[in-house]
Amino acid sequence: MLGRRAQLLAALLAAAPGAPSAVPTAPNVVLILADDLRPDAPGFAGGRAARTPVLDALARGGTVFTRASCSYPICHVSRSELLSGQLALGRPGQGASGGPVAFDPNIPLLPARLAEAGWHTVHSGKWHVAGTPAQRGFRETAGMFSGGGGAGKPPSVERTPSGREVTGYRGWTFKDATGRAEPELGVGLTPETDRIITARAVAAIGRLRDRPFFIQVNLTAPHDPLLEPPGSQRGPEPELPANFRPKPAFATGNTEGRDERIVPAPRTAAAVRAERELYFRLVEEVDRNVGELLAALTAAGVRERTLVLFSSDNGLALGSHGLMGKQNQYEHSFNVPLLLAGPGIPANGRLAAQCYLRDLYPTLCDLLGLSIPSGLDGRSLAPVLRGEQPEVHEAVFGYFTETQRMVRTADGWKLIWYPAIHRTELYHLAADPDELRDLAADPAHGAQLAELRARLTTWQLSHRDPATPFLPRP
């Protein structure tokens, strides 16, 4: 099986771009999404455990948003919000319960908006939203990695190098543009999955050098199962996060979820370090694949006129606050790394403006000179990039199922509300970035607590939130 996958990967890599023959005037766009990438993992975000020279150089040539967020920290809801530019909460099929998100048929999704404006839209990689790429505005499916197609076969890899049973992506396969499964490329995640995704995107770049294109590349790393990348070498044992705990202090709403059962609580420091060591090697694999994509742009002669966006669908706890998964409203899971580079993007920029992934849709429209469809909840970040205003969101809000709600203000105050257990946490991030000191019971911060409760309740009511708004007990 591995030999056959290697042959297919070699064939994809052989489709390398040559010299360009014409130069379109419109910028290209390459949107790269990692999966479960902590906001502090890349070097440009302060990470020290993984070497990310490609991303660090890309960040130096562009602008980093240091307080970007995903809104709903789970794959399919976060990705649905990015594609639609809309908040999923309060919509038909909305994601507050964790179920599938139904897209509004009256509002074009991001790839459909770009396709109608003349960009050739291409998808390569993980697909974890409703429908198929072809149904969502992508004119070409270079590669789709999605659930099903394994015909009942066990995953190609059953256990991780740390001995953990593979519970994620079981039964997932690559599909071609018609939906035909390609189990010969592996069932479930394999060490080559992201290299295949990248190779197919590289081949698409080579074919499309003479026309404006939008390519979305959805990598699977560093999502579990944590598998060693080809040629990877074990790194030094990583440090534990400052907010490490063996188990959560209370039931956050997902303490029994699949992510949390991979390394059951109470977790030893050694067990968490072993997972983190593999995780950071996968972060380096993300960096390697980004390097392949950038090299393809250079070889095709289109790098200078290509906007490159890099982010993740959500973060991950990985031992922080006694949690392993992403289904929480702490900074390590709610936040995502975000950088933009290319034409019109300031170099060496670092912006603390709060933003969501769904803001990328109107931002791209602005940067490409396109009108922004009405009905989007996202807001363009172009005024922030141009230095015209410091923020487009005075406060941002987060949610997960009906168990967690959050509000964070531009000045660094944050409230987390757990409706099911009627519990509140209050943090001042400017003084406590690791969220170690809960100030909710401190009388000195009573006014701040009341203000954030009122903000959150107003937001919940205005979006028809099915979760209980914060209301004082009778």
pLDDT for the residue numbered 9: 46
Chain centre distance of CA 432: 24
pLDDT for the residue numbered 237: 85
Q: Residue 60 in contact with residue 347, Cβ under 8 Å? A: yes
The helix (H) or strand (E) run that includes residue 351 is strand 349-356
What's the order of all strands across the beta sheet hosting 404-409? 395-400, 404-409, 413-418, 423-428
Q: Which tokens is 168 given? A: 């994620």
Contacts 24+ apart (CB under 8 A), 108-112: 108/137, 108/373, 109/83, 109/84, 109/136, 109/137, 110/82, 110/83, 110/84, 110/85, 110/137, 110/360, 110/361, 110/364, 111/83, 111/136, 111/137, 111/138, 111/214, 111/216, 112/136, 112/137
pLDDT for the residue numbered 5: 52
pLDDT for the residue numbered 17: 42
pLDDT for the residue numbered 4: 52
Phi, psi dihedrals of residue 96, rounded to the nearest 5°: -65, -30
pLDDT for the residue numbered 102: 86
Q: How many residues does the chain have?
A: 474
pLDDT for the residue numbered 97: 57
Q: Residue 355 in contact with residue 377, Cβ under 8 Å? A: no
pLDDT for the residue numbered 443: 97
Residues forming a β-bridge with 75 = none
Q: Among residues 431, 443, 367, 381, which one has the least CA distance to residue 29?
A: 367
Distance, in Å, from the CA atom of 322 to the CA atom of 266, rounded to the nearest integer, reads 8
pLDDT in tens, 133-186: 999 999 999 999 999 999 888 999 999 999 999 999 999 999 988 889 999 999
Q: Which domains does the chain have, with CATH numbers?
A: 2-19+26-394 (3.40.720.10), 402-462 (3.30.1120.10)
What's the order of all strands across the beta sheet hosting 62-69? 173-175, 140-146, 120-126, 213-218, 28-34, 306-312, 338-341, 62-69, 349-356
pLDDT for the residue numbered 133: 95
- Longest Cα–Cα distance in the chain: 73
Strands (E), 156-212: 173-175
Alpha-helical regions (H) of 376-445: 382-385
Q: What pTM did the predictor assign?
A: 0.94
pLDDT in tens, 410-444: 999 999 999 999 999 999 999 999 999 999 999 99
pLDDT below 70 — which residues of the chain? Answer: 1-24, 91-99, 470-474
Q: Residue 337 in contact with residue 39, Cβ under 8 Å? A: yes
pLDDT for the residue numbered 324: 97
Beta strand 173-175 with 140-146 is antiparallel
Q: Residue 29 in contact with residue 214, Cβ under 8 Å? A: yes
Distance, in Å, from the CA atom of 219 to the CA atom of 228, rounded to the nearest integer, reads 15
pLDDT for the residue numbered 411: 95
Q: Residue 175 in contact with residue 131, Cβ under 8 Å? A: no
Distance, in Å, from the CA atom of 281 to the CA atom of 222, rounded to the nearest integer, reads 8
Phi, psi dihedrals of residue 268, rounded to the nearest 5°: -80, 155
Q: Which tokens is 437 given? A: 């000191």
pLDDT for the residue numbered 287: 98
